[in-house]
Structure 1
Amino acid sequence: MKIDERHLIQLAAVVKTGGVTEGAALLGLAQPAVSRTLSMLEQRLGEPLFIKGRRPLQPTALGSSLAEYGLVMLAASRKATDLVESFRVGKSGVVRVGGTPFFMDGLIAGLCAEFQATHPDVRIEQSYGYFSDLRAALKADQIDLAICPIDILDEGSGLEFQQILPGRNVIACRVTHPLLLKRKLQPAQLLDYPWVAPPPGSPLLADLRALLLSFGATEIKIRYSGGSLMGVINYLKAADALTVMPHSVVFAQRKDKSITALPINIPHPERALSILKRIDAPRSPAVDQFADFVRSGFETLRHLIKRHEESVVWGV
């Protein structure tokens, strides 16, 4: 004999509340409908489910045993309902975000933790890549969002982007670097020191080479390469080397007082840090909320950086 799961859930609700009216209210059903269900179930079983004449209703041994199964299903149904509602409002789900290593480690990882403080049931899966890899991952539905610097997005790419921070590179060094003592820093003085190369494939690597050539370098002194953000920072802390980094990444390290930016203007890259996603991607409330949170975080960061720049005299 197969018993309808819905009948067990209704039985469980009545046993839990002690009355048909109350059980029906718990499930959002009409009282007559629940009464008919219980009568039909008793007829099919050929056994009573409740002891006659007891108020509140008291289940028989069989009724109690069946209600236990119904309670499990009722609890699962409630959890499923809560899960769906949580998903609809962006409080649960999965966010797959990919991005360039320095930005992900220096800025986005911290924003992920802040976002989950109010969205603890959202799981974030972070991955790394540069623009071409991230674009391919978006189109293959391997990630939901990409956060990376881009120059321009081709028409018909199937992607949309929102700029979250203008592109701005600086020369990073340790806070005790000798060049910080110079009153009027000249570009040629930077060539007296070794350099740290950004990771292979990073747009920063091309920026570094172009920058040093503009300073008149005939030979680029690369002392260290291939490191992660923390690897580069730890190297800079222990040496008088220099490197090119996004200003936002250097600014984010200010509380550690380990690295800083030389107060010298260098050519700005014609690109901006942006959030990329597929135009035809299925809507995910958690992904939308995370993207909004990142945009808001960078809006705050942009104001902080602007205030900082206004308090520092930058050379030409």
Structure 2
Amino acid sequence: MKLDERHLIQLAAVVNAGGVSEGAELLGMTQPAVSRTLAILEKRLGEALFVKGRRPLRPTPFGRALADHGQAMLLSSRKASELVDNFREGRTGAVRVAGTQFFMDGLVSNLIADFHVARPDVRVIQSYGYMEELQSAIRADRVDLAICPVDVLDGDDLEFRSILPGRNVVACRVTHPLLMKRKLRGSEVLDYPWIAPPLNSPLQADMRALLLSFGSTGVSVPYVGGSLASAINYLKRTDALTILPHGVVFAYRKEREITALPLRVPHPERALGILKLAGSPQSPAIAAFTDFIIKGFGSLADLIKRHEQSVVWKA
């Protein structure tokens, strides 16, 4: 015999609540509608579901057994409804985000942690890449969005929203000898060892441009291929220099271990921002994550702008 699942759910609600009116209220139904359901169910089964004349209602053993099945269905229905609500409100789901390594590790990872304080059930899947790789990954639907520096956008199928000026700086430890000079000459950076930025990165291109601007094609590079954490640890213990995003150096300011030389690095006009497929539908979780990143960098951009205005940058 096939039973209507809705009838079993109504039976479970009445048993749990101890009365037809209370069960109907629990389900958002009217009392007469639930009473009709119970009457139809008893007639079809040919068995009493409740002990006659008992108040509050007391189910028969048969009624209790059926109500247990209805309770499982009721819980499953509620879980499904909760899942739908959480998905629609961006509290569940997945976000596939990629970006340049130093920028992701230095700034975005902190924001991901803050995002999970409010939305712990949204899964964030992070990967790394540079512009060409990131564009390919977005077009191939391997990532939902990228957070990266952009100077020239390739193709009109992608859209970009700027969140931070894409400025790179010469980073060093806070007690570096060059910071002690009253008049810093840019060419003096050639006298110190350098940490090589990641291969094929904008940081590497900017380091090369800086050296060329001083008429040099090379400097001592004793350390190659490190992560952001290893680069910072190396900077803190040596007189080495490297190129880092200004936002990353600024994010470490409270630790008072690394800083930026007041020296402008020649590089193309670029911005750091969010890159995604133009016109592509976004899940609520992706939209919530995007909004959170934009707001987080909005606050950071204001702080960096005030800091830059207080520093005399040498060309």
TM-score, structure 1 as length reference: 0.95
CA-CA distance at 1:68 after TM superposition: 1.7
Q: Distance between the aligned counterparts of 1:76 and 1:215, measured in 2? A: 69
* 1:130 corresponds to 2:120: no
* 1:117 corresponds to 2:117: yes
Q: Deviations 1:138-172 (Å, cap 9, x if unpaired)?
A: 1222221110011122343x211100111211100
Amino-acid identity (%):
64
Matches within 5 A, 1:60-99: 60-99=60-99
CA-CA distance at 1:282 after TM superposition: 2.3
Match of 1:168 in 2: 167
Match of 2:184 in 1: 185
Please say which of residues 25-34 and 165-174 is displaced more in the overlay. Answer: 25-34
- Whether the 8 Å CA contact 1:169–1:269 is kept in 2: the answer is no
Matches within 5 A, 1:1-316: 1-156=1-156, 158-316=157-315
Q: Distance between the aligned counterparts of 1:201 and 1:77, measured in 2? A: 52
Q: Deviations 1:219-275 (Å, cap 9, x if unpaired)?
A: 332221111110111111121111111100110111121211011222243211010
- Whether the 8 Å CA contact 2:208–2:217 is kept in 1: the answer is no
Amino acid aligned to 1:2: K
- Whether the 8 Å CA contact 1:172–1:260 is kept in 2: the answer is yes
CA-CA distance at 1:45 after TM superposition: 2.5
Q: Distance between the aligned counterparts of 1:220 and 1:63, measured in 2? A: 85
Q: Distance between the aligned counterparts of 1:310 and 1:272, measured in 2? A: 18
Q: Distance between the aligned counterparts of 1:288 and 1:130, measured in 2? A: 23
TM-score, structure 2 as length reference: 0.95
CA-CA distance at 1:101 after TM superposition: 0.6
Q: Distance between the aligned counterparts of 1:264 and 1:3, measured in 2? A: 78
Aligned residues: 315
Q: Deviations 1:156-210 (Å, cap 9, x if unpaired)?
A: 3x21110011121110011111111111111111100111111112121111111
RMSD after superposition: 1.5
- Whether the 8 Å CA contact 1:9–1:74 is kept in 2: the answer is yes
Amino acid aligned to 1:174: R
Q: Deviations 1:11-37 (Å, cap 9, x if unpaired)?
A: 111111122222122212233332232
Q: Distance between the aligned counterparts of 2:170 and 2:89, measured in 1? A: 43
- Whether the 8 Å CA contact 2:206–2:267 is kept in 1: the answer is no
- Whether the 8 Å CA contact 2:97–2:145 is kept in 1: the answer is yes
Q: Distance between the aligned counterparts of 1:280 and 1:37, measured in 2? A: 48
- Whether the 8 Å CA contact 2:102–2:228 is kept in 1: the answer is yes
- Deviating runs (4+, > 6 A) in structure 1? none
Q: Deviations 1:92-127 (Å, cap 9, x if unpaired)?
A: 221111111111100000001111212222221111
Q: Distance between the aligned counterparts of 1:210 and 1:302, measured in 2? A: 25
Q: Distance between the aligned counterparts of 1:310 and 1:40, measured in 2? A: 78
Q: Distance between the aligned counterparts of 1:295 and 1:135, measured in 2? A: 20
